[in-house]
């Protein structure tokens, strides 16, 4: 018997707005909009953060992941960073009680 899928949309924060986010994750998320809604994005460089926020529907963007993690609408976080940066962000997500996927 298949597990029942929650029909509620999850408000997703995206940390890292580079190639992985734009070329891998974004196309996949567009195919399942009834499950996820991007609510905020973060990148350490403002042009990438601003551009991805625009592509994702004009959502707020942040330059520090701690600022994104403080946002109430963000329930889960997609981490699209180089692997060596994931631990620091994973730790921040779990201490802020956000689900994370990297």
| Structural domains in the chain, sorted by start | 10-101 (3.40.50.720)
User: What pLDDT sits at residue 3?
Assistant: 42
Give me the tens of pLDDT residue by residue for the chain, a chain 102 residues long: 444 445 688 999 999 999 999 999 999 999 988 898 999 999 999 999 999 999 999 999 999 988 898 888 888 889 888 877 776 776 666 555 565 555
Contacts of 65 (CB under 8 A, 6+ apart): 15, 42, 89, 92
pTM for this model (two decimals): 0.81
């Amino acid at each position: 018997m298949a597990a029942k899928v929650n029909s509620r949309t999850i408000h997703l924060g995206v940390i890292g707005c580079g190639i992985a986010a734009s070329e891998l994750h974004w196309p996949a998320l567009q195919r399942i909009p009834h499950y996820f809604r991007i609510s905020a994005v973060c990148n350490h460089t403002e042009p990438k953060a601003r551009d991805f926020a625009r592509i994702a529907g004009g959502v707020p963007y942040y330059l520090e992941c701690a600022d994104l993690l403080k946002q109430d609408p963000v329930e889960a976080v997609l981490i699209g960073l180089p692997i060596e940066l994931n631990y620091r962000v994973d730790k921040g997500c779990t201490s802020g009680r956000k689900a994370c996927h990297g």
